[in-house]
Structure 1
Amino acid sequence: MGKLGCGIDGVLNEAKFSEPLPWIGVYIAAASLACALAMAADVIHGFRHSKLWFPCKLFTINATSLTIIAVAVKLSVDLNTPMPRGQDQLAKLSSAALICTVMGNSMPSLGTMENKEILSNLVALGILVITVVVNICIQLGTGVIYVFVLEQAIIMFLMLVLLLVFSFSALTVPTIKRYLELKYKKKYEMAQKECSMPKESGQPLVDKLREALMKYWMMAHTCSPQFVMGRSVTCTASGALCLLSAATLAEAMVRFYVMRGSFEFCKGDSDYKWSINLVLLTQAVAVGLGTIAPAMRWFLAINFRCPTRGRKKGCDSNYKLEEYWIKALVEMKECPLSNIPIHHPQCRRILHDAKIKLLNLCIGIQAGIVFMSKVIRFVSVYFMGTILLCYDHGRDWLMKFTPNNSIRNDSGPESPPNYKQDLSRFVLHLEGEDALVDLMMKENRDATDYWWRKAKKRQPKHLMELLELSRPSEGFKGLTEFDSFKVPPLDTEEAPNCWSLSLVTLTSIAFAVPNIDGYSVKHLITGVNEGLVYVRSIEHMHGKLVNNGKAADIVWLSVELYHRWLNVDLRKLSLQGKSTKEILEVLSDSAKNIFMEFKKNNANLCLMDNPSKWPIKVLAANSMYRISQSLLLDYKDKNYETSERLFEAIRVMVSDILAACLTNLQCFISIKCSTSAIEEREESVRHAAHVLGKTEKVLKHLHQKSLPGLTPDQMAVMDEWRSLYKLNSSLCDTPHSELSSPTPREVYLIID
């Protein structure tokens, strides 16, 4: 028997080594298919949301995608596997074309990266591209690639140019983000001033918020880093280069399948065997789908700038190098070499001079890339102008013979004028993009209205029915009734109250109340579930009481899905035939036992001195104990012996807490549009528009009620409401209290 890898005669068994290659081909096809599906998903997302600049949602340049791409282009770096057939040679070409498609498709994703991510991803991409180019050159020299040589050379050239364009475009991202961030802050202040200016009396709050959101959206969308990169001249050029690489692959495939007799191929079969056809098919599909987005960006850019479209008087002839393209390089050029541990003056001078020369070379390359991109755009406009002109004349000629051509006049003079506010001053644009301002405004002005109308169809009806029980005229009295000030704390330090934890604890108690029909309980749970979506958003807005919010989420998950509060089965408890007082005592004792056990186990730690660091289970237990004890204190005075009475009282308390918390929705919508990072701001404004649409009736309902005299920051904190109510109650017990402090129903919040 021969050694491992050798035959009986001791000769190396090479055939054995190539047996797994067909399955490796399947692996390559699977990676190519993953790329195709991700790029197709981005195309579908772009069409679905009318974003024809196609932002990169799934397919971006990162560690995961680069790993998948490296697997997908394995054929291009395979140096010694024989590829004799035409399909084998085409698969080599499709692998190279796929890299061009990837770079052209993912150009906007540069805007989503941080500086360190950009550097690491560019280095990895550069290593991959250089490796592929070097390996293709070796295969051209050794004869592994012997057909479609010209096509391979063209795609290699396009690959290197795209890598340069991709890399030097990335240099501008930090500069663009800083510039747009400063501009956004100024425009945001201007928008706030305009929104706070007095308008016609009686204008509904929702209409004012919609007008403000339109301004915030216009700013957030036009300064979105992905959109800025997608409309840049280098991205337009990369789209043209990507389209050219796809056309090169298509030309080779057409020649092979239509004029196969004009080729001379070697005899034999590839070690990849049948899997090579699968690889060629998936990569051709990936190149086709991946070219849609870059090609559309290229076409839209030239369509707008083409003079035959009636948008401009002449072709774009601006070849000026805008400052933001080279600002980062200029800053690096002026920065001293302070991080290099070399103290010899002559050595430092040599290094400094070398750095300046290198950066001057980079500035020259950047200027050349921008100039080349503008030339590509100009040439595209020049040649496409004739085609678009023929299309316009043909369409006009056909319309003359169309019987119902009166449809064209629907938007004519007799149609009613469109009174839409001018948002052009809120369009954030870079130097050289003045011509795009009106276009960006017209295409995105109605976006917030669309989301608002779409969200309006999904109003939280159960939440609205629950809010009808609230008592704003009594100062949302349930805020103090659910947790009495008379209940002694379990520890020297008391945990602060939290909107969501109080809501889920009260709902847990309501679930355990006996003799309540299932519809009423289900209706309460559904209403609370709808309200918690907005309560959590309001709590996250300030980022306080994080542990309390986590406790509420965990308790609510258990209550909603399993009808349990921690270790207590609420459904079983309600069916045991106990009185309401006994049920409250069981819940109170269970919570107290959990708390005291934790206190006993942590007696020597300072953890108890800081309630914000209490474990989630302990916070939930503390809330259940205080609320159960508060209900027991009022048990006789408010006739809680009756199950229906207790359940209805809890519903009213829940309604008061929800109503008080949701008065912060207007503040939440405003803050949501300003505090998020520039990469996430567009999504934040869209979320705010959805919230406004869904809660329109809630806002109208609460806006008609009197609210306490608290600042916006105080209104977001539950204990501030309770402190104000306690203060007003104590003042009412003193002589002449009516003169010293207004009651809650007499104090109004002025909403700008």
Structure 2
Amino acid sequence: MGTNVTYYVDQLLQLVFDKNSSNKLDSFLQNTLPIIHEAEQQNRYSKPMPWIGIYIASASLVCILAMAVDLLHGLRNRKLWFPCNYFTLNAAYLSVVAVAIKLPMDINNSMPGGGDQAAKLGSMAFMCTVMANQMPSLGTMNNKELLANIIALVVLVITLIVNVCIQIKTGVVSSYLETLRSVHSLHLPGYIIELDIIRKTKPLSPYAYFRENRIIAIIYVAMLLVLLIIQICSALMILNSKRILESKYQAGHERALSDLELKRPGSLTTEKLKQCVGYYWVMAETGSPQFMTACSATTSASGVICALSTILHIIIMLSTINQGYASDYGWSIPVIFLTQFMGVLLGTIAPLCRCFASLSFKMSKKWIWEHMKVFKVECYWTGTLLHWKKSSIPFPFRSRKCKVALEKLKVPILSFSIGFQKTVVITCKIISLIPIFLMVFVLLCFNCWKWLKVMFKGSSTVLVNKFEQVTPDTNFNQYVLQLQVDMEPAERTLKGILKSVNRLIQKAKKQQPENLMKLLQKSSGFEGVQYFDSLPPLLSTEYPDCWSLPLLSLTTIAISLPDIREDIVDSLLRSVSEGLLYVSHVEESLNATHECVSIQKAAKMSWLEVEVHNKWLGYKFKDHVRQLNTARNILDWFRDTAKNKTEVESMEIEDSDNNLVCESACAKSMYHITTILLSYQDTNDEVSQEKLFEQLSSMISGILAACLTNLPQVIAMKCHTSSIEKREASVYAAAQLLGETTQIINKLQNRELPSLNPDEFP
């Protein structure tokens, strides 16, 4: 607008110096002054626009970083189908994406420059990439989350499509020649204009045919619409597929229980646990809704569409090199364009890899032949719609006529939807034939190359794929979960899954808790539990038994002894800190009642205070204990302080303050522990602080040993979880825990256990 103001000022000066144009000058001023004023106002309103452009680029960068993290996570864990752990379809990312695609959403702001038009189209390519990357994340949601997020995505994409169509109609998205003419009419200084094209003095350059922005925008609109339809069809498939996979998982779970005798805790050796983790790992990986979604025909089709949009965007990039920008966004347009261009290039990697990875997971002659039958639509694609068609609709009103009318209307609508769903699936299968042919061609070329190498070397070595040299244990095959009974994954897929869990366990074995192992060696049995149970439990009337609270109390007393060397105290702290991590696993798995959870919370809060601040219930125990000389005096101080604390808080506990509940539990635990220790000292001579420290260390070691004997049962429990969305993470945690505690489990299994029933071990 600033150049138009300059033009009007030039005209005004000519009229001022023209002596015969007084009437023209008055008329000119009346007509142009409002225009100049409006232009100046518009320039003032447009000043923040470049910073809004930076905001758009920042939102794009957030999406790019999330896609990059998912990419690195997949490569690191050798999951070439790249699960969506960070860049998922949810309200937060949809809000960020809505900011990132503001340029094609802006229907009023004129963007006449070639660079402006390319940035607007680039945002549409970026949206295609975002949708293709988020496809597998549909499998991570429950039914309510899936419905809410799909509706939000539909609203966002339809709004984008409608806005772009409006811009095509109004000319905001214009053709290449119109863009040049509009820029030329503005007389913008420094803008590179191909006047020879405007004057038609020579033919168009090769890239000029791709600069018809309206056609490109229509292509992107079609791609976005197809990707949206694919997302909706995939969501309908996921709803039904989860039910199928869940029923097969339950059958596999019962088989694992009988095969491994998991209901007998005493029989769980490390080898049997490793086999158990392997069984559940295979079920979790092959039955993962995200893995199932990533290997579907719709995901392969979305990867192909994403690749096509990227190719088109690269052509746009090449055609707009050295082109300027003339919109209100100013210098931020190149920043937006380059940021989203990098995002499109990076974001295409995962969808393309999913295409070829899903083929390699299922690649076999039988699978290729079955997939060639593109007109075959499996039942799980239409199961949800068929279920809706047969079920009745809950009506909020009692009118029989309305009920009959809606029921009659429901049948043709769902029948059409089922037919449309089948059409989309067949279309996706046809599109996914492209990567199949490419994969077959690559494999043929690779095999030909290997054959030529063998011929020229004169070797009689049989060409055998490295994945086929060893056949996996047939027991694992029966734990593979598939939607179709007659379609099993390739053998190398099962081998890769087993290798991944073995690799995880071996990696976790390098993280053995060495300090905890040294502490456990200080006891040969379970003396700590015997000490703890030597008197009637004082807490049983109000608080349930707990492992972590006695450990906390004993450790607090031990590290408060002033005559003990600091390095020995630090060693005990590190050992107990490592042990409490595994104690929390035991308590969370075996003691998950509401009362136990509150006690565990109290222990965690108090341990943080002890470990970090050297305090117990707000007391700096080093300051209070330092002036006490004997071990008995120290125990007396802890007992009296705990007793006073419980008496004060018993009057205030009615306020149901969580902090008071935690402090009360810790105080009563300390009172119980010190009572036991003092009663033991009453029958013996006065012990030194060193002797008391050794006694406390032995008790801590015994209690930890008794608690950690439950680790095999905890690992077996972690392998199985009822939530299909959390199953993979739960088995991962079980494998990690098994690797870290293998030595502990082996060591504790060699100890003589007390004569208890299996149900009494926890």
Once residues 360 and 432 of structure 2 are traced to their aligned partners in structure 1, the CA distance between those partners, rounded to angstroms, is 10
CA distance 1:446–1:638, shift in 2 (3 Å): farther
Q: Which moved more, 1:462-471 or 1:649-658?
A: 462-471
Q: Residue 237 of structure 1 aligns with which residue?
A: 301
Q: What is the TM-score of this pair, normalised by structure 2? A: 0.84
Which of 484, 490, 510 does residue 457 from structure 1 map onto? 510
2:528 paired with 1:478: yes
1:464-503 alignment, distance < 5 Å: 464-472=517-525, 476-482=526-532, 484-485=534-535, 489=538, 493-503=541-551
Once residues 412 and 162 of structure 1 are traced to their aligned partners in structure 2, the CA distance between those partners, rounded to angstroms, is 35
Once residues 338 and 197 of structure 1 are traced to their aligned partners in structure 2, the CA distance between those partners, rounded to angstroms, is 43
- What is the SS of the residue equivalent to 1:426? coil
Q: Residue 8 of structure 2 aligns with which residue?
A: none
Q: Residue 186 of structure 2 aligns with which residue?
A: none
Once residues 213 and 396 of structure 1 are traced to their aligned partners in structure 2, the CA distance between those partners, rounded to angstroms, is 40
Answer yes or no: is the 8 Å Cα contact 1:155–1:248 preserved in 2: no
Q: Which moved more, 1:425-434 or 1:54-63?
A: 425-434
2:132 paired with 1:104: yes
2:720 paired with 1:674: yes
Which of 623, 630, 635 does residue 676 from structure 2 map onto? 630
Once residues 129 and 336 of structure 1 are traced to their aligned partners in structure 2, the CA distance between those partners, rounded to angstroms, is 31
Pairwise CA distance, 1:548: 1.0
Once residues 210 and 620 of structure 1 are traced to their aligned partners in structure 2, the CA distance between those partners, rounded to angstroms, is 37
Q: Residue 288 of structure 1 aligns with which residue?
A: 345
1:389-428 alignment, distance < 5 Å: 389-394=444-449, 396-397=451-452, 420=473, 422-428=475-481
1:373-384 alignment, distance < 5 Å: 373-382=428-437
Aligned residue identity for 1:114: N
Q: Residue 512 of structure 1 aligns with which residue?
A: 560
Aligned residue identity for 2:585: S
1:169-318 alignment, distance < 5 Å: 169-196=234-261, 205-257=269-321, 269-302=326-359, 316-317=372-373
Once residues 438 and 419 of structure 1 are traced to their aligned partners in structure 2, the CA distance between those partners, rounded to angstroms, is 8
Pairwise CA distance, 1:342: 3.7
Q: Which moved more, 1:505-514 or 1:463-472?
A: 463-472
Q: Which moved more, 1:153-162 or 1:515-524?
A: 515-524
Q: What is the TM-score of this pair, normalised by structure 1? A: 0.85
Answer yes or no: is the 8 Å Cα contact 1:452–1:693 preserved in 2: yes
Once residues 173 and 361 of structure 1 are traced to their aligned partners in structure 2, the CA distance between those partners, rounded to angstroms, is 20
Q: Residue 24 of structure 1 aligns with which residue?
A: 52
Which of 214, 221, 227 does residue 162 from structure 1 map onto? 227
Answer yes or no: is the 8 Å Cα contact 2:161–2:221 preserved in 1: yes
2:391 paired with 1:335: yes
Pairwise CA distance, 1:477: 3.1
Once residues 273 and 10 of structure 1 are traced to their aligned partners in structure 2, the CA distance between those partners, rounded to angstroms, is 19
Q: Residue 658 of structure 1 aligns with which residue?
A: 704
**What is the RMSD computed on CA atoms of the aligned residues?**
3.1
Question: For residues 385-431 of structure 1, what are the alpha-carbon distances to aligned partners after superposition, in whole Å with 9 as ceiling and x for unaligned?
Answer: 34543354346546766899989889699x9x677554111110112
Pairwise CA distance, 1:145: 1.1
1:573-652 alignment, distance < 5 Å: 573-602=624-653, 605=654, 615-652=661-698
Once residues 165 and 409 of structure 1 are traced to their aligned partners in structure 2, the CA distance between those partners, rounded to angstroms, is 38
Aligned residue identity for 1:482: F
Answer yes or no: is the 8 Å Cα contact 1:511–1:570 preserved in 2: no
2:753 paired with 1:707: yes
Q: Residue 565 of structure 1 aligns with which residue?
A: 616
Once residues 369 and 242 of structure 2 are traced to their aligned partners in structure 1, the CA distance between those partners, rounded to angstroms, is 32
Once residues 52 and 216 of structure 1 are traced to their aligned partners in structure 2, the CA distance between those partners, rounded to angstroms, is 21
CA distance 1:161–1:713, shift in 2 (3 Å): farther
Q: Which moved more, 1:705-714 or 1:62-71?
A: 705-714
CA distance 1:333–1:203, shift in 2 (3 Å): closer
Pairwise CA distance, 1:302: 4.3
Structure 1: 5+ residue runs without aligned partners? 1-5, 717-752
Q: Residue 203 of structure 2 aligns with which residue?
A: none
CA distance 1:596–1:204, shift in 2 (3 Å): closer
Answer yes or no: is the 8 Å Cα contact 2:297–2:428 preserved in 1: yes
Once residues 145 and 10 of structure 1 are traced to their aligned partners in structure 2, the CA distance between those partners, rounded to angstroms, is 24
Once residues 197 and 618 of structure 1 are traced to their aligned partners in structure 2, the CA distance between those partners, rounded to angstroms, is 38
Q: Residue 133 of structure 1 aligns with which residue?
A: 161
Once residues 304 and 418 of structure 1 are traced to their aligned partners in structure 2, the CA distance between those partners, rounded to angstroms, is 16
Question: For residues 37-93 of structure 1, what are the alpha-carbon distances to aligned partners after superposition, in whole Å with 9 as ceiling and x for unaligned?
Answer: 001110110011011111101101111000000000000011121212221111111
Aligned residue identity for 2:535: F
Once residues 700 and 351 of structure 1 are traced to their aligned partners in structure 2, the CA distance between those partners, rounded to angstroms, is 65
CA distance 1:533–1:8, shift in 2 (3 Å): same
Pairwise CA distance, 1:269: 1.5
Q: Residue 738 of structure 1 aligns with which residue?
A: none
Question: For residues 686-735 of structure 1, what are the alpha-carbon distances to aligned partners after superposition, in whole Å with 9 as ceiling and x for unaligned?
Answer: 1111111111111111111222344455322xxxxxxxxxxxxxxxxxxx
Answer yes or no: is the 8 Å Cα contact 1:180–1:428 preserved in 2: yes
Question: For residues 666-701 of structure 1, what are the alpha-carbon distances to aligned partners after superposition, in whole Å with 9 as ceiling and x for unaligned?
Answer: 110111111352111111111111111111111111
Q: Which moved more, 1:388-397 or 1:437-446?
A: 388-397
Answer yes or no: is the 8 Å Cα contact 2:362–2:489 preserved in 1: no
Once residues 115 and 252 of structure 1 are traced to their aligned partners in structure 2, the CA distance between those partners, rounded to angstroms, is 40
Answer yes or no: is the 8 Å Cα contact 1:427–1:440 preserved in 2: no
- What is the SS of the residue equivalent to 2:348? helix
CA distance 1:23–1:114, shift in 2 (3 Å): same
Which of 375, 395, 412 does residue 319 from structure 1 map onto? 375
Answer yes or no: is the 8 Å Cα contact 1:514–1:574 preserved in 2: yes
Aligned residue identity for 1:565: W
Once residues 267 and 161 of structure 2 are traced to their aligned partners in structure 1, the CA distance between those partners, rounded to angstroms, is 65
Q: Which moved more, 1:419-428 or 1:690-699?
A: 419-428
Answer yes or no: is the 8 Å Cα contact 2:325–2:333 preserved in 1: no
CA distance 1:315–1:388, shift in 2 (3 Å): farther
Q: Which moved more, 1:246-255 or 1:385-394?
A: 385-394
Answer yes or no: is the 8 Å Cα contact 1:481–1:630 preserved in 2: yes
Once residues 456 and 686 of structure 2 are traced to their aligned partners in structure 1, the CA distance between those partners, rounded to angstroms, is 81
Q: Residue 744 of structure 1 aligns with which residue?
A: none
Once residues 325 and 573 of structure 2 are traced to their aligned partners in structure 1, the CA distance between those partners, rounded to angstroms, is 71
Structure 2: 5+ residue runs without aligned partners? 1-33, 176-212
2:418 paired with 1:363: yes
Once residues 522 and 305 of structure 1 are traced to their aligned partners in structure 2, the CA distance between those partners, rounded to angstroms, is 54
2:600 paired with 1:549: yes
Between structures 1 and 2, the one with greater helix share: 2
Answer yes or no: is the 8 Å Cα contact 2:114–2:325 preserved in 1: no
Answer yes or no: is the 8 Å Cα contact 1:52–1:297 preserved in 2: yes
Once residues 285 and 562 of structure 1 are traced to their aligned partners in structure 2, the CA distance between those partners, rounded to angstroms, is 47
CA distance 1:586–1:685, shift in 2 (3 Å): same
Identity of aligned residues (%): 38
Question: For residues 104-123 of structure 1, what are the alpha-carbon distances to aligned partners after superposition, in whole Å with 9 as ceiling and x for unaligned?
Answer: 11111111112111111111
Once residues 276 and 551 of structure 1 are traced to their aligned partners in structure 2, the CA distance between those partners, rounded to angstroms, is 55
Q: Which moved more, 1:285-294 or 1:8-17?
A: 8-17
CA distance 1:405–1:35, shift in 2 (3 Å): farther
Aligned residue identity for 1:155: Y
Which of 90, 95, 116 does residue 62 from structure 1 map onto? 90
Q: Which moved more, 1:668-677 or 1:331-340?
A: 331-340
Answer yes or no: is the 8 Å Cα contact 1:463–1:528 preserved in 2: yes
Q: Which moved more, 1:294-303 or 1:449-458?
A: 294-303
Once residues 467 and 92 of structure 2 are traced to their aligned partners in structure 1, the CA distance between those partners, rounded to angstroms, is 52
Answer yes or no: is the 8 Å Cα contact 1:72–1:95 preserved in 2: yes
